[in-house]
Structure 1
Amino acid sequence: MSTTSHALSIPGLETVYDTLATAIDQAGPEKSQLFLVKLALLNANALGDADVFAAHIASALQDL
């Protein structure tokens, strides 16, 4: 998926999941989609690679 060597550990992923779930709840149902788009764009910018970001999108769309 990602070409970086900075993969999170399982506990790190659990922390990220909890933080994300809390933020989605905080944004509320009316603004959760806007929040997720803003978050995705911020992370794409931090990643700095549009092709890797596109690959992440494709992976996330699998098995929805």
Structure 2
Amino acid sequence: MTMPFAELEPVYEELAMAIDRVGEAQAPLFLAKLALMLAHELGDRERALAAIADCERDLLRE
């Protein structure tokens, strides 16, 4: 089950504020920990790996 796009805005806003709170130096570690926690919650290794690949591909395309 996926979250409707309309519900993503408050998640994005909280994520941005959390990144600001932890600071620029800790942001990469925070994001890695968050990604691992969300992958654990997702409970599907293949979907987690696909999401990593999708995000990487998107950033490399820019």
Which residue does 2:45 correspond to in 1?
50
* Aligned structure 1 segments of 4 or more residues deviating by more than 6 angstroms: none
Residue correspondence of structure 1 range 1-20 to structure 2 within 5 A: 6-20=1-15
Unaligned runs of 5+ in 2: none
When the two chains are superposed, the root-mean-square deviation of aligned CA atoms in Å is 1.1
Question: How high is the TM-score relative to the length of structure 1?
Answer: 0.82
Cα drift, residue 59 of structure 1: 1.1
Three-state SS of the structure 2 residue aligned to 1:8 is coil
Cα drift, residue 23 of structure 1: 0.6
Q: Which amino acid aligns with 1:32?
A: A
More helix by share: 2
Three-state SS of the structure 1 residue aligned to 2:58 is coil
What percent identity do the matched residue pairs reach? 44
Question: How high is the TM-score relative to the length of structure 2?
Answer: 0.84
Higher relative contact order (CA 8 A, sep 6+): 1
How many correspondences in the alignment? 59
